[in-house]
Amino acid sequence: MMTSRFIGNVRLGIKTLLLHKMRSILTMLGMVFGVGAVIAMLAVGEGASKQALDQIRRLGSQNIIINSQKPIEQAASGSMQVRMNMYGLLYDDLARIEQSYNTIDRVVPSKLIRGQGRVGSRTLELRLVGTTPNWFELVSRDLLAGRVMTDLDMENFASVVVLTEHGARKLLVGQSAVGSQVRISQNYFTVIGVIKSESTQSGSMQTPDQDIDAYIPLNVAIERFGDITVTRSSGSRSRELVELHQLIVQVDSIENVESTAAGIERMLSMFHPKGDYRMSVPLALLRQAEATQRTFNIVLGSIAGISLLIGGIGIMNIMLASVTERTREIGIRRAIGARRKQIIGQFLIETVVLSVTGGFIGIGIGLLIPWLITMFADMPTIVTLWSVLLSVVISIGVGVIFGMYPAMRAANLDPIVALRHE
């Protein structure tokens, strides 16, 4: 009985709204755009945040990354003569870090050397990364072909190289990658594997790898290329002595990452007063990015909420006009026995039908916009289930909240005055 009465009231509400189609459509637009904005904005924010968070996570939440950095006074100085710049991380720093902290599992050093790779007539400027096999365990990258370096390669001083997908495509066109010979600055190396690189920026931190990287054993890099490199710029020539360009420190647990990083920072500051290094802690960046994501979602939600508020006010305004137009009808219904709660229910049903219909149309638009953004702007977007459910709840809530006042006003009309209304 109650169900059939409710369905009858819904049908009556829809019939009443269809009597003024254009007015009903215009009233719903606020809800349509408000709900669509909620879903679309949260999808864009969620996609951008997830992309940044994934990049940081791939660096390892238990890792600390320390890079050599040229001091400001050395970078700014210039002359036409040859000069020697000595800066950056030292082999002694590696030993001190390994021996000073029992919370550290392992430390992976890297040495970076610029060189030209050549296979036949094809050439490519490469960044040689002299490192240890542990690098591939601390910085997770997909293996596309062959294998990565092993401890046996280090022991045998093997002339082997692991290329990135970019390097393999540029140098080894039409050739089998694994087993090919690559000439790098007068030295020949055998390609043993190809990996996928992650040459992107995560916030203020550069990922440890680039598309032009080529990985060789650290001891081979030191033996073949030494510690001194020569660079030329603006007519001047400089010689740089950098023992190690990067250290990746893996801590035994997430709980010890920040305290260990603070300890390493204090120790390095004692031996590097010029500040010729830069430390990045992915865990700290991860927490900062997560906090930024929450703030971003709140801001976007607030902006979309304003649209919904305007839509709700529009619904209330139209329903108040409807109460005025239907004053005589309300008086007749009250005169033949309709109770106040029935009048309230009828007007609430009409406002909820308006808001929910607009909400579902808005959900369709909200799902379409992120898809278009991903297709044409190549931006990642993620539509979450909770954002859709939130939009449905908001639609119903707006209908009830902004429809309550017009419904109460209609129910409180004096039947005698209402019947006299022209």
Question: Each residue of 215-258: pLDDT tens digit?
Answer: 999 999 998 887 666 555 455 566 778 889 999 999 988 888 88
* Whether residue 11 sits in one domain with residue 157: no
Q: Contact at 8 Å (CB) between 218 and 131?
A: yes
- Is residue 76 situated within a structural domain? yes
Q: Is the pLDDT of residue 328 over 60?
A: yes
Average confidence (pLDDT) over 335-358: 80
Q: Supply 63's token pair.
A: 């890792």
What number is the average pLDDT over the span 152-163? 94
Residue 65 lies in a domain: no
157 and 239 assigned to the same domain: yes
377: containing domain? 2-56+288-420
**CA torsion angle for 270, 271, 275, 277 (degrees, to 10)?**
-120
Whose tokens are 């009309």? That residue is: 413
**DSSP assignment string, 283-345:** HHHHHHHHHHHHHHHHHHHHHHHHHHHHHHHHHHHHHHHHHHHTHHHHHHHHHTT--HHHHHH
Does residue 64 belong to any structural domain of this protein?
no
Q: Do 241 and 95 belong to one domain?
A: yes
The verdict on residue 283 lying in a domain is no
pLDDT exceeds 70 at position 291: yes
- In this structure, the answer to whether residues 303 and 269 fall within a common structural domain is no
Model confidence, pTM: 0.63
Q: Same structural domain for residues 229 and 322?
A: no
Domain-embedded: residue 252: yes
Six-digit token pair at 313?
């006010």
Domain match, 254 and 360 both: no
Q: What is the mean pLDDT of residues 193-217?
A: 72
pLDDT of residue 31: 81
Share of the chain above pLDDT 70, in %: 86
Q: Look at residues 275, 296, 320 and tell me which one is the last residue of a structural domain.
A: 275
- In 120-235, DSSP assigns E strands to 122-131, 143-146, 160-164, 181-184, 187-195, 201-202, 205-206, 213-217, 228-233
User: Does residue 62 sit within a domain?
Assistant: no
Residues 301, 260 share a domain: no
Same domain, 326 and 404: yes
How many domains does the chain fold into? 2
